[in-house]
Structure formats: structure tokens, C-alpha cells
Amino acid sequence: MAPIAVGDVIPDGTLAFLDNDNKPQSVSIHSLAKGKKVIIFGVPGAFTPTCSLKHVPGFIERAEELKGKGVDEIICISVNDPFVMKSWANTFPENKHVTFLADGSAKYTHDLGLELDLSDKGLGIRSKRFALLVEDLKVKVANIESGGEFTVSSAEEIIKAL
């Protein structure tokens, strides 16, 4: 499957999260993105060094600026379960705007064409690192990394595109 690209409509898909009572919930990506300007960024794994020290903090630190440029939602997706994603989100107490969603079986990642096979490292199927700028379900910017790189999918690169 070809990776999601500029001009494509994002596929709908269901992702998971834990609510305030720690009960598993699900949400449709289209319900979060329809009629809105959203950033969807994906990381290979929760609690991994680049994701935890660079990628996520960049979006948290620049969230107000992104909101000021018209972004309605900032969504972080990882191939992890919702329990891991909530625990990871809790390590960023300063976060007010980034929503952490779980793609436990990598189904949505597959639908985006952004799987990264890290089986040789014992990590299984994960997500490529990416950042999408989506307006009313249509991809306006698709910054997709090669392998484990972190060069084009940062908050700074999305801000340049706004």
C-alpha cells in the first residue's frame, strides 16, 4: 500500500484511549478531524528516546503557536495499547493540547501505509515517524521519515508549512 500523501483523504479508523476513570474508550479519527484543521503525528513507540525527548515535547512546547495558526487538534498516535499511551501522556504534565491515541494492532497505521517493521529489533510492527497536516480530512502536508530518522516530522517543520 502506498503511504498517505498530500491530496489524499485520511482513512477513517478507530483508535483507543483511557478516559478519566481509566476505562477504555474508542474514537473515530474522522469524528476528530471532519471540518477541522488537525495535526496527526505518529511515533514508533511510547517511552522510546527520540519520541519522548524530541518528537512529543516539540508538539507540546509549540502547541499554543500551532493553535494560534488555526490548528484545532493535535493528535499523537503510536502502536501501543491505551494503558501505555495514558501512562506515557502522564509523563508530560505540562501538556494541555496533545491527545494521545493508541493504535494497538497497527490497523490504522497500516491504513495510512506507514508501517515500520522493527521485528529484527524485537519491536514488531510499529509506525514510521510522521506528521500530517489535515484540513477537513484532506492531507495538506505529509512529512514522513525514513527508518528511524527525525528530520521532517517535527512541530517546527509543520509550523513552517502553516
* Active site positions, annotated: 51
Query: Tell me, what's the pLDDT at 125?
Result: 85
Query: Tell me, what's the pLDDT at 61?
Result: 97
User: What is this structure's pTM?
Assistant: 0.94
Domains of the chain, CATH where assigned:
18-159 (3.40.30.10)
Q: Which long-range contacts (CB under 8 A, 24 or more apart) does 47-52 make?
A: 47/84, 47/88, 47/91, 50/129, 50/148, 50/150, 51/78, 51/129, 52/88, 52/91
Alpha carbon dihedral 67, 109, 80, 98, in 10-degree steps, equals: 0
In contact, 70 and 37? CB cutoff 8 Å: yes
Query: Tell me, what's the pLDDT at 136?
Result: 98
The predicted-structure confidence for 6-61, as pLDDT tens digits, reads as follows 999 999 999 999 999 999 999 999 999 999 999 999 999 899 888 888 899 999 99
